Amino acid sequence: MTSRDQSQYDAAVRLLAERPYLADLVTHLDRAVREYESNRPEARPVAVSAGDEEGAPALFALARAHADAANREERAEVVEVLGAKMPLSEAGTVRRAAKAIEGALPEIILDARINGQSASEISRELGFANDSRVYSYLRKHPWEASYRLDQFQDGSWVTVDSGTREVLKDSAEQVAVDVARELAAGDARVRVSVWRLGDPGDSVDVDTARYVFERDPAA
């Protein structure tokens, strides 16, 4: 294993440790791929020219074509290629993968929102027609924020408050800003660290926080 491979492997391990819900998704995808590999008679790569990537795999070309609602001709062309070339076993693999992703969507959407992506950005990435589906997921899945409020006193940071709060639709950044505004005097130099309850390093290590907000009125 090369150093790059090892680095990618370590990153994947950390991601699964931080996002346990992804394990189910990975398991479903792995099972689907294994089924496909064991059933197909031979590898049959399908390629089309789409976007700025010559010879891109048809599946990615289809995704790009659907991302561009105005490009109906390209979309129709890719659908035609898929209909003519994609074997049944591969179509089944894609369908099972889609179902696995659909099941994980609430957590995927919530995690993206916690990390600061807007509903519009999430909708665009997922190819939703509008933001309403994202807001629907967020309303049904509030999250528990764990926070720590530190104040700079006598040359060092001192923890003056900590706790948890249920959050509906807000990002970790907004939670941090709200905690600073509500719990600390406006002229104090403060730092607010926010985690999702249960995250690795929750309320312990600032480096593991989802968001760290600092306010220094003197700056």
pLDDT tens digits, one per residue of 18-74: 666 666 666 666 666 666 556 655 444 433 333 334 444 555 655 665 555 445 665
pTM: 0.64
Q: Specify the pLDDT at position 117.
A: 96
When pLDDT is cut at 50, 70 and 90, the band that residue 95 belongs to is confident
57 occurs within a structural domain: no
Q: Judging by DSSP bridges, how do beta strands 211-215 and 190-196 pair with one another?
A: antiparallel
For residue 60, the surrounding DSSP H or E stretch is helix 58-67
> Would residue 201 be called left, alpha or beta, if left means φ above 0 and alpha means ψ between -120 and 50 degrees?
left
Task: Tell me, yes or no, whether 72 lies in a domain.
Answer: no
User: How many domains does one find in the chain?
Assistant: 2
* 122 in the same domain as 162: no
Q: CA torsion, points 107, 115, 138, 93, in degrees to nearest 10? A: -30
**Same-domain check for residues 186 and 114:** no
Q: Is residue 67 included in any domain, yes or no?
A: no
Over the stretch 113-131, which tens digit does the pLDDT of each residue have?
999 999 999 998 888 888 9
Give pLDDT, residue 104. 87
Annotate 12-50 with b (16+ C-beta within 10 A) or e (fewer).
eeeeeeeeeebeebeebeeebeeebeeeeeeeeebebeb
**Cα→Cα distances 99→44, 85, 96, 104, Å:** 24, 22, 5, 9
Q: Choose the weakest-confidence range: 8-12, 38-42, 124-128, 136-140.
A: 38-42
- H or E segment and range at residue 185: none
Residue 100 and residue 183 share a domain: no
146 shares a domain with 182: yes
| Per-chain mean pLDDT for the chain | 78
Instruction: Let me know if residue 80 belongs to a domain.
Output: no
Q: Are residues 27 and 124 in the same domain?
A: yes
130/148 same-domain check:
no
Strands (E), 43-174: 47-50, 53-57, 143-153, 156-167
Q: pLDDT-based confidence at 75, cuts 50/70/90?
A: low
CB 44 within 8 A of CB 37: no
Say if residue 119 is in the same domain as residue 17: yes
Lowest mean pLDDT of 85-89, 112-116, 147-151, name the range: 85-89
Q: Are 137 and 113 in contact (CB under 8 A)?
A: no
User: Are residues 126 and 25 both part of a single domain?
Assistant: yes
Average pLDDT over residues 2-31: 63
Confidence of residue 100 (pLDDT cuts 50, 70, 90): confident
Does residue 111 lie in a domain region? yes
Do 133 and 162 belong to one domain?
no
Query: Is the pLDDT reported for residue 167 higher than 90?
Result: yes
Same structural domain, 113 and 167: no
Query: Are 22 and 95 in a shared domain?
Result: yes
Q: Are residues 16 and 28 located together in one domain of the fold?
A: yes
Domain boundaries, position 199: 142-215
Closest CA to 37 of 95, 87, 89: 89
**Domain end point (choices 116, 138, 160):** 138
pLDDT of residue 45: 42
Element (H, E) at 211: strand 211-215
